[in-house]
């Protein structure tokens, strides 16, 4: 028998937290309740939840800040819960790597439905060694698959090869000539402008990758690197 998927509920309003936990339990999950950011981080490490429901206004820190801390090491799906419904907050949440966003008041049934929807969108996290996490970006080197916030990123074969090559060798700088040789192949005889174009397309495809986790950097006068926060 497989164990239940844990859902971490980060919410300081006792009544809401309790109701959400009851509904999630009924839906077959293992709810874990945290009433502030510090508790949330401790439970997050301990329990490795399948998903986090995150209230924006917490007594000790802002939900956006907590999301950023989670995203340093994990692509675990996060649904933001909030009393605010301004477009600014919504965008900040989604740009910060939230997978979905719900404004209060909400029906607990709808929260459960969104939890299921978000979990269906992404594979359950495994300790598979071919898979690496770069903030909200996941690269599966064996399956040659790239995910951002759980959604697959569409890349051409060349862009994918370029990303895999750079991401496997993080923080190292490669010249255009080296990249042509490694990614395009020795028999390529076009211009090295091809590298610039592919990098441009790759960056566009990775535009939802959280910039504090990593990025494809241009090193002036030298070439490119996949910069990663270690
Ligand atoms: Ca609150």
pLDDT tens for each residue of 192-202: 899 999 999 99
Rounded to the nearest angstrom, the distance between the alpha carbon of 168 and the centre of ligand 1 is 40
Rounded to the nearest angstrom, the distance between the alpha carbon of 57 and the centre of ligand 1 is 4
Rounded to the nearest angstrom, the distance between the alpha carbon of 35 and the centre of ligand 1 is 9
Rounded to the nearest angstrom, the distance between the alpha carbon of 133 and the centre of ligand 1 is 29
Rounded to the nearest angstrom, the distance between the alpha carbon of 72 and the centre of ligand 1 is 23
Rounded to the nearest angstrom, the distance between the alpha carbon of 16 and the centre of ligand 1 is 10
Rounded to the nearest angstrom, the distance between the alpha carbon of 83 and the centre of ligand 1 is 8
| 153-175 mean pLDDT | 90
What residues contact residue 97 under an 8 Å CB cut-off, 6+ apart? Answer: 67, 68, 71, 78, 135, 136, 149, 210
Task: Tell me what pLDDT residue 126 has.
Answer: 46
Task: Tell me what pLDDT residue 129 has.
Answer: 67
What residues contact residue 130 under an 8 Å CB cut-off, 6+ apart? Answer: 140, 141, 142, 143
**227, 217 Cβ separation under 8 angstroms:** yes
- Split at pLDDT 50, 70, 90, the class of 230 is low
For 113-123, what is each residue's pLDDT tens digit? 999 888 876 54
Task: Tell me what pLDDT residue 100 has.
Answer: 84
| 25-40 mean pLDDT | 95
Question: Percent of the chain beyond pLDDT 70?
Answer: 89
Q: Who wins on pLDDT, 118 or 29? A: 29
What residues contact residue 96 under an 8 Å CB cut-off, 6+ apart? Answer: 64, 67, 68, 71, 210
Tell whether domain 124-228 is in CATH 1.10.10.10. Answer: yes
Rounded to the nearest angstrom, the distance between the alpha carbon of 20 and the centre of ligand 1 is 14
Domains of the chain: which residue ranges?
6-120, 124-228
| 183-206 mean pLDDT | 90
Task: Tell me what pLDDT residue 143 has.
Answer: 86
Q: What fold is seen in the domain 6-120?
A: Rossmann fold (3.40.50)
- Split at pLDDT 50, 70, 90, the class of 124 is very low
Q: Who wins on pLDDT, 150 or 129? A: 150
Q: Who wins on pLDDT, 84 or 168? A: 168
CA distance 31 to 17: 10
Rounded to the nearest angstrom, the distance between the alpha carbon of 136 and the centre of ligand 1 is 24
DSSP label at 172?
A: -
């Amino acid at each position: 028998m497989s164990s239940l998927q844990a859902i971490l509920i980060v919410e300081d309003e006792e009544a809401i937290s309790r109701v959400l936990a009851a509904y999630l339990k009924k839906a077959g999950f293992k709810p874990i309740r945290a009433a502030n950011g510090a508790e949330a981080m401790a439970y997050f490490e301990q329990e490795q939840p399948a998903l986090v429901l995150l209230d924006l206004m917490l007594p000790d820190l802002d939900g956006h800040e907590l999301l950023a801390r989670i995203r340093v090491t994990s692509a675990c799906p996060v649904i933001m819960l909030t009393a605010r419904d301004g477009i600014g907050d919504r965008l900040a949440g989604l740009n910060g790597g939230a997978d979905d966003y719900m404004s209060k008041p909400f029906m607990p049934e709808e929260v459960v439905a969104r939890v299921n929807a978000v979990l269906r969108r992404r594979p359950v996290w495994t300790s598979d060694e071919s898979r690496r996490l770069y903030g909200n970006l996941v690269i599966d080197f064996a399956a040659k698959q790239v995910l951002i916030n759980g959604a697959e990123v569409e890349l051409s074969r060349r862009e994918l090869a370029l990303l895999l090559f750079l991401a496997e060798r993080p923080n190292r700088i490669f010249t255009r000539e080296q990249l042509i040789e490694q990614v395009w192949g020795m028999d390529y005889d076009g211009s090295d402008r091809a590298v610039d174009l592919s990098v441009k397309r790759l960056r566009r495809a990775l535009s939802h990758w959280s910039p504090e986790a990593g990025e494809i950097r241009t090193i002036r006068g030298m070439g490119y690197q996949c910069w990663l926060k270690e």
